[in-house]
Amino acid sequence: MKIATIMKKTFVLITTVLATVLFGTKSFAQNLDEELVTVYRWYNPEAKNYVTLADGQYQEGQLLNWGWKNKTPLFFAYRNPGDGRVAVNGWYNPVTNDYISIAEDEFNDDQMIKMGYKDKKTQFYAPTRRGSNTVAVYRWKISKDWVTVPEEGDTDTYLKKGYRHKTFQFFGIVRNVDAVVYGQL
Print burial letters for 123-154: b (CB count within 10 Å at least 16), e (below 16): bbbbbeeeeebbbebbbbbbeebbbbbbeebe
Q: Give the pLDDT of residue 66.
A: 92
Structure confidence by residue, pLDDT tens digits, 105-130: 889 999 999 999 999 999 999 999 99
Cβ contact 115:141 at 8 Å: no
Could you say which residues of the chain have pLDDT below 70?
1-33, 153, 176-185
Q: Give the pLDDT of residue 26.
A: 41
SS3 158: helix
SS3 171: strand
> Mean pLDDT in the chain?
81
Structure confidence by residue, pLDDT tens digits, 73-83: 999 999 999 99
Phi-psi sector, 183: left (phi>0), alpha (psi -120 to 50), beta: left
115's enclosing H/E stretch is none
